[in-house]
Structure 1
């Protein structure tokens, strides 16, 4: 079983650091479950053992429009499949695209933050950061499929920064143990 959130390559190394062998939804046979943490990825009120972010400086996109994410973080705050409710995190992000232009920008970004988790799946002091902290001014909600070295399909897109850089975003699929 897999579940996903959208992550950003905020450490700038060109990939999303996770504890699993793969971030693809459809994995090649024999893929092992990586190191897990306890987290309510589905947002159903129950934690489960899931692969997670490696804690290397990449981040998860968070809906913090009510300002309470540090106190009640779970999968409903992340932009993922939310237990099968969405086909991908980009589909969930698209709900905030008020003008339908395929991207979140300006006021559409209000209340969104980045969770630069240290790998323990708990919001520690200083881990919730503003998009502006990383210069992010735009997030595409249009998914692009890309193959990894194993031939698996990755769900990726991009963010743009104030200085014109493109940042990788990916709907990373975590295996559940």
Structure 2
């Protein structure tokens, strides 16, 4: 697993929000299981986006190993901009407008398979991450902090749901 797979995980299991005034309905859609072919295509696209960002940011070959990991890159200017670049290429973030709510929420598995209260809880969790990240003026840092918060909260949310399933 590589960093770019973390981006895929977020896109599949999470969604992002731009601001509090964004209205998104949480009515579950019918589950849309991804075919193995579409999953493989998504992984290929994400890998290509990651590779393009490595080139665009002129990250030397000797440093790629620090970013080509299952973990989130270090909280450094290059790591922050790598996250921003990949998220932009995936369509989840834009420099001018920030996190792309509609696209990510609609792609979110949580928005499709959970009842309204869980989907709504997830949406509120996302709003907290974005609002916190939006306090940062540096666009790369903002993308990084939002993504990190989302990743951490997504893991926590998933654990809570799994725990509740077992009880």
Q: Same fold (TM over 0.5)?
A: no
Bigger radius of gyration: 2
- Structure possessing the higher relative contact order (Cα contacts under 8 Å, 6 or more residues apart): 2
Q: TM-score, normalised by structure 2?
A: 0.31
- The structure where strand makes up a greater share of residues is 1
